[in-house]
């Protein structure tokens, strides 16, 4: 492949920008059009979400991994290099969004002409505003029947203080006015402020793993230049590498001779794992260290779930599937784990529930694996008071991620739970319901202020485990989707935690044990018992389903015994059918879990533990 010469693009001709929007407002479609207009991709009918390469992205219509593309555009005689950085929109990935934005000098803010400003519009606007980026408002979907661009322009003026005449009305689907957007990008967004004479300073805003070439790090150069043969160092790992290849993305890899300050592209330097090129890291030349770019965070898992193969014979297949999937996702943490009931497996850490769902979906689609996921948990801590345990663990503070490891109250001086500081932006009519929801989740209000005459921003300190399951959905549903939610880690707080066991006829069921706050135990226990009652088949004796804390029973359901279970007629043709059914049931017995004398089908637990999706 011919290498491009990037030296023909001086810093003044470069524009680095991102497109931000609320979900489904047309971000990716607009990106498709921009790629077409600039000739980066040929104009065909098949260009849909071109930058969303993952199947799960295309199916769910979401962007999970940030991709970038370098576009070339001639405007009034000058050749410009426009670097478009696509961003994930979900709150789980706000860190990725903020890193992508730090590589930009401006953003295109897309708003649906009918829906108007929505939660993520606001959240993303603030991210861009705080990063002091130029903002180009674009009102999209003007081709649709209910479009009301004038109303939206006024919303934008009121909320963001941007004059209505700066808004561009487009239809990304039809291509209407999209060229104007490009021109505005050139006119309004400033070129990057950096110098090729400075030492190399490159921000890693994404990385992918390629089997043949190793880790491909997506970088934005804040200073200096980089080319094949250079020795570079990662500020985070301190490891040194030799650069094999540099290039830009169009959106596929296009090697170049060099990359210069202000440009965006990729670097391949013999890194073997994506953990060696983490998002937010800074790369510099060997012997020329620079101040690392601010805002780097090591991926912090917020939600843990146990993952087990549906059958132990599948263990090795699942193991290699996990290894390959995590090659490309350095934000998933993996620990080996095992359960009496489910055998050998893992406990995985995710950035959030969407992250976990997407991961699971990718596992199914790309690796054809179906797995057993146990209840999501968060990393609790305990400060030990028992000398014996302290000696055993080698320290006095331990992190508990598997309920089986929960140390008894007597050996502990304090339990701690992780908390987050959550920010909710909502129209004022939903304040009451939202406050009630937050109080219900043991949250403490930290701040409340009106950001304009209609909208309120609330800040609450939440225990993390109260929001990981369905807080976001509940918030959306009681605010008709208008409230937005964002959160950040806020350390640990003391908590009255207990371990709740589930018993069947007095025998504990290990995989259903949960660590929970004392105040929530009854409700959770009752729900679990009710769900189990529906999923365990009746047997020849009565089954007592109980939730217990230590020896104390806090909830109970009873599954009555069968008093009649025999088919009425069995003649002729029925006999063959009957035998088939009976033999299937006999087979099924082998797969049953026996808890004491109670037979439980394997999927009973999964059904009980599985998060209720989209009620």
Q: Which of 155, 161, 68, 169 is nearest to 118 (CA)?
A: 155
Q: Which of 219, 203, 330, 202 is nearest to 274 (CA)?
A: 330
Nearer to another protein, 286 or 541 (CB): 541
Q: Which stretch binds another protein (CB under 8 A): 97-105, 357-365, 429-437, 579-587?
A: 579-587
Nearer to another protein, 527 or 561 (CB): 561
Only one residue has tokens 């979401």, namely 62
Q: Which stretch binds another protein (CB under 8 A): 2-10, 181-189, 420-428, 566-574?
A: 566-574
* 565 makes contact with another protein (CB under 8 A): yes
Q: Which stretch binds another protein (CB under 8 A): 98-106, 284-292, 486-494, 564-572?
A: 564-572
Q: Which stretch binds another protein (CB under 8 A): 34-42, 236-244, 334-342, 537-545?
A: 537-545
Contact 415, 482 (CB under 8 A): no
For 403, list phi and psi in degrees, rounded to 5: -55, -30
Please identify which residue in 566, 612, 614, 615 interacts with another protein, judged by CB under 8 A.
566
| Cβ 607 to another protein shortest distance, Å | 21
End-to-end CA distance of the chain: 52
Nearer to another protein, 451 or 567 (CB): 567
Nearer to another protein, 448 or 575 (CB): 575
Nearer to another protein, 161 or 587 (CB): 587
Residue 567 has which token pair? 């088919």
Please identify which residue in 144, 387, 527, 579 interacts with another protein, judged by CB under 8 A.
579
Judged on CB neighbours under 10 Å (0-12, 13-18, 19+), 229 is exposed
Q: Which stretch binds another protein (CB under 8 A): 48-56, 356-364, 445-453, 567-575?
A: 567-575
- Spell out the residues 6+ positions from residue 267 whose beta carbon is closer than 8 angstroms to its own: 202, 216, 217, 219, 226, 232, 243, 245, 246, 259, 283
| Cβ 135 to another protein shortest distance, Å | 55
Q: How far apart are CA 426 and CA 452, in angstroms?
A: 11
| Cβ 538 to another protein shortest distance, Å | 8
| Cβ 605 to another protein shortest distance, Å | 21
Longest dimension (CA), the chain: 92
DSSP state, residue 337? E
Q: How many CA atoms lie within 13 A of 295 on its CB side?
A: 17
Three-state secondary structure call for residue 94: helix
Q: Which of 441, 606, 604 is nearest to 517 (CA)?
A: 441
Query: Of 589-608, which residues contact another protein (CB under 8 A)?
Result: 589-590
Nearer to another protein, 199 or 537 (CB): 537
| Cβ 595 to another protein shortest distance, Å | 16
Query: Of 367-426, which residues contact another protein (CB under 8 A)?
Result: none
Nearer to another protein, 77 or 573 (CB): 573
* 580 makes contact with another protein (CB under 8 A): no
Q: Which residues pair with 109 in a beta bridge?
A: 20, 137
| Cβ 565 to another protein shortest distance, Å | 5
| Cβ 536 to another protein shortest distance, Å | 14
Q: How far apart are CA 264 and CA 204, in angstroms?
A: 10
| Cβ 586 to another protein shortest distance, Å | 4
Please identify which residue in 61, 190, 588, 596 interacts with another protein, judged by CB under 8 A.
588
* Strand stretches in 428-551, DSSP E: 444-450, 455-463, 484-494, 497-504, 507-508, 514-517, 543-549
| Cβ 559 to another protein shortest distance, Å | 12
| Cβ 577 to another protein shortest distance, Å | 10
Q: Which stretch binds another protein (CB under 8 A): 15-23, 512-520, 546-554, 571-579?
A: 571-579
Q: Which residues pair with 488 in a beta bridge?
A: 421
Q: How far apart are CA 421 and CA 461, in angstroms?
A: 5
Please identify which residue in 145, 388, 551, 571 interacts with another protein, judged by CB under 8 A.
571
Contact 482, 440 (CB under 8 A): no
* 558 makes contact with another protein (CB under 8 A): no
Please identify which residue in 567, 594, 596, 603 interacts with another protein, judged by CB under 8 A.
567
Contact 51, 86 (CB under 8 A): yes
Please identify which residue in 340, 570, 596, 603 interacts with another protein, judged by CB under 8 A.
570
Residue 593 has which token pair? 């879990």
| Cβ 543 to another protein shortest distance, Å | 13
Q: How far apart are CA 179 and CA 118, in angstroms?
A: 25
Q: How far apart are CA 397 and CA 384, in angstroms?
A: 6
Q: Which stretch binds another protein (CB under 8 A): 350-358, 416-424, 503-511, 570-578?
A: 570-578
| Cβ 528 to another protein shortest distance, Å | 23
Give exposure, 15-43, as e/b (b: 16+ Cβ within 10 Å): bbbbbbbbbbbbbbbbbbbbbbbbebbee
* 572 makes contact with another protein (CB under 8 A): yes
Q: Which stretch binds another protein (CB under 8 A): 60-68, 188-196, 382-390, 555-563?
A: 555-563
Q: How far apart are CA 464 and CA 445, in angstroms?
A: 15
Q: How many CB atoms lie within 10 A of CB 103?
A: 26
Q: Which stretch binds another protein (CB under 8 A): 47-55, 241-249, 546-554, 573-581?
A: 573-581
Instruction: Give kind and range of the element (H or E) at residue 228.
Output: none
Nearer to another protein, 563 or 615 (CB): 563
* 573 makes contact with another protein (CB under 8 A): yes
Give me the residues that bind another protein (CB under 8 A), please: 538-541, 560, 562-573, 575-576, 578-579, 582-583, 585-586, 588-590
């Amino acid at each position: 492949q011919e290498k491009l010469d990037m030296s023909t693009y001086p810093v003044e001709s470069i524009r680095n920008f991102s497109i931000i929007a609320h979900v489904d407002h047309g971000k990716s479609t607009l990106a498709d059009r921009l790629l077409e207009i600039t000739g980066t991709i040929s104009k065909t009918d098949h260009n849909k979400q071109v930058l969303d390469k993952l199947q799960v992205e295309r199916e769910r219509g979401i962007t999970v991994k940030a991709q970038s593309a370098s576009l070339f555009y001639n405007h009034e005689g000058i050749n410009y290099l426009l670097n478009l950085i696509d961003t994930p929109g979900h709150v789980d990935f706000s860190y990725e969004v903020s890193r992508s934005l730090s590589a930009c000098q401006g953003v295109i803010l897309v708003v649906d002409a009918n829906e108007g400003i929505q939660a993520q519009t606001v959240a993303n606007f603030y991210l861009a505003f705080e990063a002091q980026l130029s903002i180009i408002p674009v009102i999209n979907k003007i081709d649709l029947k209910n479009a009301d661009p004038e109303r939206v322009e006024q919303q934008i003026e009121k909320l963001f203080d941007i004059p209505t005449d700066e808004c561009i009305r487009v239809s990304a689907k039809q291509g209407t006015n999209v060229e104007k957007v490009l021109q505005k990008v050139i006119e309004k967004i400033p070129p990057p402020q950096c110098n090729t004479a400075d030492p190399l300073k490159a921000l890693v805003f994404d990385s992918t793993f390629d089997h043949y070439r190793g880790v491909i790090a997506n970088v934005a150069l804040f200073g200096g230049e980089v080319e094949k043969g250079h020795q570079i160092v990662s500020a985070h790992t301190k490891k040194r590498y030799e650069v094999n290849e540099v290039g830009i993305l169009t959106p596929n890899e296009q090697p170049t001779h060099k990359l210069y300050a202000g440009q965006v592209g990729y670097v391949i330097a013999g890194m073997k794992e994506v953990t060696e090129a983490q998002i937010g890291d800074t790369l510099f030349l060997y012997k020329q260290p620079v101040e690392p770019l601010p805002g780097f965070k090591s991926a912090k898992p917020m939600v843990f779930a146990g993952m087990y193969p549906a059958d132990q014979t599948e263990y090795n297949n699942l193991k290699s599937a996990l290894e390959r999937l995590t090659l490309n996702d350095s934000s998933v943490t993996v620990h080996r784990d095992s359960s009496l009931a489910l055998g050998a497996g893992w406990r995985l850490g995710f950035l959030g529930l969407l992250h976990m769902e997407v991961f699971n979906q990718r596992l199914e689609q790309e690796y054809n694996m179906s797995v057993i996921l146990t209840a999501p948990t968060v990393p609790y801590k305990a400060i030990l008071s028992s000398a014996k345990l302290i000696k055993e663990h080698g320290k006095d503070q331990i992190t508990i991620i598997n309920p089986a490891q929960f140390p008894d109250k007597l050996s502990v001086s304090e339990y701690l739970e992780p908390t987050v500081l959550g920010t909710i932006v909502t129209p004022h009519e939903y304040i009451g319901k939202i406050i009630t929801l937050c109080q219900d989740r043991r949250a403490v209000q930290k701040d409340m202020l009106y950001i304009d005459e209609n909208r309120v921003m609330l800040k609450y300190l939440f225990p993390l485990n109260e929001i990981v399951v369905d807080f976001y959905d509940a918030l959306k549903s009681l605010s008709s989707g208008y409230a937005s939610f964002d959160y950040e880690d806020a350390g640990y707080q003391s908590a009255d935690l207990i371990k709740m066991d589930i018993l069947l006829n007095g025998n504990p069921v290990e995989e259903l044990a949960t660590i929970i706050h004392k105040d929530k135990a009854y409700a959770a226990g009752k729900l679990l018992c009710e769900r189990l009652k529906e999923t365990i088949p009746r047997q020849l004796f009565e089954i007592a389903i109980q939730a217990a804390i230590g020896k104390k029973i806090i909830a109970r359901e009873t599954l009555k015994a069968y008093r009649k279970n025999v088919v009425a007629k069995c003649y002729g043709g029925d006999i063959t059918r009957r035998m088939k059914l009976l033999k299937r049931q006999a087979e099924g017995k082998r797969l049953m879990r026996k808890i004491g004398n109670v037979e439980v089908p394997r999927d009973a637990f999964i059904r009980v533990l599985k998060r209720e999706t989209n009620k």
